[in-house]
Amino acid sequence: MIPSTYPAREEIARLTARMLLEIEAVHFNADEPFTLASGLPSPTYIDCRKLISFPRIRSTLMDFLTVTVMRDAGFEAFDNIAGGETAGIPFAAMVAERMALPMTYVRKKPKGYGRNARIEGAMSEGQRVLLVEDLTTDGGSKLSFVDAIRETGATCGHTAVIFYYGIFPETVPNLREHGVELHHLCTWWDVLAEARDQGSFSKDTLDEVEAFLTAPRAWQDARKGA
């Protein structure tokens, strides 16, 4: 069912951050930083995949994501909802259900046998496709999915995520240069503000997280090989 209520953008961000903290999807550790997929250190880590195990929260966030996309992109802007393998697949399915649209998913690479397809499901030339993912850092991984969608003759000018890092200034310009608009529910700044309000972590930890969010590349460079 398509949601009929539209919370203010700021309230959506605050509540999303609160839910992520509540299910312990957010991890802060300044003393023993996490290693990201890039190999770089970070005092922050978020696991949006945990959301699928919390029905009330996942339902609310999918309502939020659906109304955010419709408000920002239009009520009749899409013909197909595509999820990126693997984390985006369940969220794309839930958004597609709410918008009463077909759902597909995009593989990271061809499966290597059979049709050797990257697109699973029915996607046709001329369809306007929304790419749904769990999160984005710098937007780079989205471009491969977008290109795979466009190779079918469909168009893809929008991607929607639950969580956007919001700390790398090149993200939105890079996506826009590729013809893609980003829609999201909350960022690290929203999570940090809610964590401070809740007292979820020590002040020293949150101060170090803020230092990272303010200058992530400098923070990482100072700790490479540490």
Bind-site residues? 107-108, 111, 133-141
Confirm if 62 and 94 have CB atoms less than 8 A apart: yes
Task: Locate all alpha helices (DSSP H) within the chain, ordered by sequence.
Answer: 9-22, 55-73, 88-99, 140-150, 171-177, 188-198, 203-214, 216-223
Q: For residue 197, give both structure tokens.
A: 């309000």
Rounded distance, CA 46 to CA 27, Å?
Answer: 6
Q: Is 219 helix (H, G, I), strand (E, B) or coil?
A: helix
Which residues are documented as binding site for 5-phospho-alpha-D-ribose 1-diphosphate? 107-108, 111, 133-141
Q: Provide the Cα torsion 34, 9, 200, 50; round to 10°.
A: -50
Beta-bridge mates of residue 82:
104, 131
CA distances from 10 to 22, 96, 99, 132, 144 (A): 18, 24, 23, 21, 31
Which residues are documented as binding site for orotate? 137
Number of H helices, E strands in the chain: 8, 10
